[in-house]
């Protein structure tokens, strides 16, 4: 899966990327009542413009992405001073209040995200095959503190296990997250011309870990 993801970025096969802020983020983020200066974790962030939007709302952002091309393209979209450094196997680039960690999300340690108070997943869970999604949900719960709030955008489509993006059912979302998060569906969209239907969920980390 790792090599397939890197190959997609090298070849520019990134149809999942939106050239604007995701409308669901704009519609639902403020209703979460995340504290104004809370640092937001964005796993598998790609070059998402959602990170710019979160930054514009006053949030420091910590994005994690495997593909170096994604990070360089994100930086190139904006002017601004860039600082670069390394930490525990990650190559880190900071531009304004957005910090991008290039490396494996599953290698991220709680000590590296101790200031994180919120999270946003628009295309992380649905980028992962079924066998990896349980690991992802538990690792996310390990990284964010009790009380941390977040927004999860998923989708369902008629091609079953084909992906990415993968179709994730409401039943699976419940099984993955309810052990460690309170979960509330905020929106269920109609299927588009491709047969993709998005759902939007509000999460809040409970504690202790289960």
Alpha carbons 182 and 51: distance in angstroms, whole number: 24
Residue 15 has pLDDT above 90, yes or no: no
- The whole domain housing 35 covers 2-14+22-205
Residue 210 lies in a domain: no
Residue 184 lies in a domain: yes
For the stretch 91-116, pLDDT in tens is 999 999 999 999 999 999 999 999 99
In the block, residue with structure tokens 């390990």 = 142
Q: Is 140 annotated as a binding residue?
A: no
Q: Is 9 annotated as a binding residue?
A: yes
Q: Is 29 annotated as a binding residue?
A: no
Q: Which two tokens stand for residue 145?
A: 């503190």
- What does the mean pLDDT of the chain come to? 91
Residue 9 has pLDDT above 90, yes or no: no
For the stretch 42-87, pLDDT in tens is 999 999 999 999 999 999 999 999 999 999 999 999 888 999 999 9
Residue 1 has pLDDT above 70, yes or no: no
Q: What is the number of domains present in the chain?
A: 1
Confidence at 159, pLDDT banded by 50, 70, 90: confident
Residue 185 has pLDDT above 60, yes or no: yes
Crossing angle of the two packed helices 2-11 and 68-76, in degrees rounded to 10: 40
Nearest residue to 124 via CA among 154, 98, 144, 149: 154
Please report the pLDDT score of residue 115 as a whole number: 94
Alpha carbons 57 and 178: distance in angstroms, whole number: 28
- Most confident region among 123-127, 186-190, 201-205 by mean pLDDT: 201-205
Residue 170 lies in a domain: yes
Nearest residue to 147 via CA among 108, 109, 119, 121: 119
For the stretch 42-54, pLDDT in tens is 999 999 999 999 9
Residue 26 has pLDDT above 60, yes or no: yes
Please report the pLDDT score of residue 164 as a whole number: 83
Residue 138 lies in a domain: yes
Residue 85 lies in a domain: yes
Confidence at 192, pLDDT banded by 50, 70, 90: confident
Alpha carbons 71 and 208: distance in angstroms, whole number: 34
Q: What is the pTM of this model?
A: 0.93
Please report the pLDDT score of residue 190 as a whole number: 83
Please report the pLDDT score of residue 40 as a whole number: 98
150: CATH: 3.40.50.150
Residue 17 has pLDDT above 80, yes or no: no
Confidence at 126, pLDDT banded by 50, 70, 90: very high
Q: Is 65 annotated as a binding residue?
A: yes
């Amino acid at each position: 899966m790792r090599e397939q993801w890197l190959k997609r970025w090298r070849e520019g096969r990134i149809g999942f990327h939106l050239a604007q802020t995701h409308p669901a983020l704009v519609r639902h983020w403020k209703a979460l009542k995340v504290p104004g200066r809370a640092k937001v974790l964005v796993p598998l962030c790609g070059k998402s413009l959602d990170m710019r939007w979160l930054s514009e709302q006053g949030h420091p952002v910590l994005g994690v992405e495997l593909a170096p091309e994604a990070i360089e393209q994100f930086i190139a979209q904006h002017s601004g001073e860039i600082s670069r450094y390394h930490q525990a196997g990650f190559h880190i680039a900071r531009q304004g209040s957005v910090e991008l960690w290039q490396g494996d999300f599953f290698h991220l340690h709680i000590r590296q995200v101790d200031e994180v108070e919120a999270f946003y997943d628009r295309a992380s869970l649905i980028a992962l095959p079924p066998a990896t999604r349980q690991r992802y949900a538990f690792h996310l719960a390990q990284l964010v503190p009790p009380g941390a709030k977040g927004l999860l955008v998923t989708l369902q489509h008629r091609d079953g296990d084909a992906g990415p993006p993968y179709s994730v059912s409401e039943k699976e979302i419940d099984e993955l997250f309810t052990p460690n998060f309170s979960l509330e569906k905020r929106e269920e969209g109609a299927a588009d011309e491709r047969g993709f239907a998005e759902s939007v969920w509000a999460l809040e980390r409970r504690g202790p870990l289960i």
